[in-house]
Structure 1
Amino acid sequence: MMRLLDYITNETNKYANKWSRTNSSSSRNVWKPLSSDELRIYLALVILQSIVRKPEMRHYWSKNPILETPFFAKCMSRNRFDQIKKYLHFVDDETYNPATHPNPKLNKIFPIYERLVERFQNLCVPEKNITIDESLLYKGRLGWVHYIPLKRARFGIKTYLLCKSKSGYVYNFVIYTGKGTILDPEYSALPVSSQVVMTLVKPLLNKGYCLTMDNFYNSPQLADLLVSKKTDVYGIERKFQKNCQLQKFKGKEISLLSSIHGVETVNLQNRGETILKPQLVHEYNDTMGGVDRVDQHLADYTLPRKRGKKYYKKIFFHLFDLALWNSFVLYSKTGGAETALEYRMDIVKLIMEKYHHSEFCSATGRPSVIPTPLRLTGRHFPEYIPGTEKKNNPTRQCAMCARVRDGHGKKIRRESRYYCPDCDVALCVAPCFRVYHTVKDI
């Protein structure tokens, strides 16, 4: 199967060439074939825009000293960036048949949706506790836009997410499109909310998982079905369902359902007071935050989705956001201690160092050259790390050895007496000093 970025590159080139043949072209609109490397650079700049916020897209290329961010112009001209944004495409329109397509409303983004679901599930095996909740990805004029009053952004296309309770890793998701929403036909006799649950958890059934849900999904009938498939369940249940018992809690009536809890209580400390709380409520609050972690991250670093952009492109950038989030969760799991902000900045830096080439910018645009890193220029010589008042012969951690991890995923710490005074980096004399100053991709 073609790699995802190669696939997007191919479809974008086909769409751009088709549009160029049917529309009058100017020098600005002449399409230069897109490569997968250039697409990576475009996406890296989009990631950077989620960190460096500006009111309008054109401000990223502004020469105004107050607004100027020269890095963008060095990486890609504004005209080229706008071109790629305009022609970005994900499907061959000529092969589309609404009569046979599984979801015509998602036709223009469906290949990306399918591949990401498969990729998310192949890269990670969830721990025992999983959770389901909804998230909103786009505000626009569509017949299948939803309203969720408790969300920060209340209107939008709804996505149902199945996440790991602890980390928030998105294992599976369904995009709600109204009547045509893709749900497992095996459970078509169930209410829609129950169909959503069974569709999301199907890959994990009969494996001993424990699912947490809120009252939008939970019901005794659904719980019986899940337990019959060796999947425990607990959470808040809708009031006034048959055979449900109500208990008062802090003046409110709530209905709780669990296949693993009894009537046990736990003592919790709150502002110096000991509070008695049902263990079920405590564990529900502890495990229900997976989707909230995703929403919080996306709220902090939402990729730009400016007004006027076609809805399927906005969905694409939301899915790209989810992919970035999942990659950060996996990176953290393997020992990475960086924040989400540092992780995104590192992605941008690594993409530019590895894939940027000057020919990407048009001849009329600004120079498209990323400055060569200092460590690869000039002549560098090792010296002893200068002594201090406390240590005559101090050592520091070797920067190259720190990039290597042992069998448990932990960074290897190796001290060195030597450093490069120009780069101010501690390095072992051999071979780290030579590698650091001669190899570009490290």
Structure 2
Amino acid sequence: MKKYFFMVLFILIAAPVFADTPSAVDKGDTAWMLVSAAMVMLMTPALAMFYGGMVRRKNVLSMIMQSFVAIALVSLQWILFGYSLAFGPDFHGIIGGLDWAGLSSVTLEPNADYAPTVPHLAFMIYQAMFAAITPALISGAFAERMKFSAFMVFTFVWAAVVYTPVAHWVWGKGGWMSQMGVMDFAGGIVVHVTSGFSALAAALYLGKRKGFPHDLMSPHNLPLTVIGTGILWFGWFGFNGGSALSSGQLSTLAFVTSHTAAVSAVCVWIALEWMFHGKPTMFGAATASIAGLATVTPAAGFVTPMGAFAIGSIAAVVCYFALNLKPRLGYDDSLDAFGVHGVGGAIGTVCVGLFACKAMNAQGSNGLFYGNAKQLFVQLGAVLIVAVFSFVMTIAIFKIIGLFTTIRVSSEDEVEGLDNTQHGESGYTM
């Protein structure tokens, strides 16, 4: 009996020692993050369809190719050094170091600074999908007139010198905007302000399309654009909901506020079209949904559903008039990248300073309507700084690229279409 007694006693004492060390990885959170990463990745091919349907038939494949290749180019850069510069150990609040280059030290264990319940690699790949779609958004501004080789160089360089520092400022541990209290839940500043104001710079630098605004340049395939819109809307639930970095209450809030802003924007936009033009359009409804989603992105995890309703309604009004002002201002932002993403991202970021409610997210802060006027000025300052930085850096990148190669296709190639002249293929065989 003594023998068995000591055996049982040994097992009871030693079992905790030999047992597997409990992991901090939460399987539910990890599953949600990986699904969200896949949803955000799908948004870039969806953007390809959204933009592809909006251009003329002779340029559909060139438009799709730009978004598709952005996934490969930026993801490769992200793995090699982009992620380290954006989220790596801080250097004076300005940029990350190269400690994590080539994903060195980015392991299957969680990183407590960013996502304490999912593998560090899961957080990295989720952020990679944000980095990939952001420069793809800019392509809408110079559609139908940029050389593909110049596009590849621009995309790679822009992601390195514009996206990664701003991502570090706002989201990186020790980033100076983060230290100031700037709030950007899912990329109003990091994704939409950077891409939108860079799009404006690109449109101004490259100039108008041949024949603009006199020639008819209607979307050649609106059903393709609507399919792209639907997939973008679906993916946005991962874009905003996944930014909670966990599966639970906060991701649920972001999911609901995202949808609420989108549907309110659609309803207000078609009402405006009915009022001013007599007929609501499918093109307008599709644009409205993207405007509502882009505008609520920085606020999705900080506001109430009714706050999101107000933000979506504001987005519809402001973006509608921004797009209608474009012909009067004379610049050729071909697919309204600035009017939707630049204007929407800026308005949404400012709206965080109005509608943010700490009762919804204890990690956030109250906005003006909840007694904290300071937050509004913090958000305004962040928008102005990032808008100017993105605009100036984009012009600088184009000027430097222009020293080595031409950026715009020849007049003859533009008339023939970029599908044939840049890629030697056609989107349709009739």
| TM score, norm. by length of structure 2 | 0.24
The structure whose Rg is larger is 1
* Higher share of residues assigned strand: 1
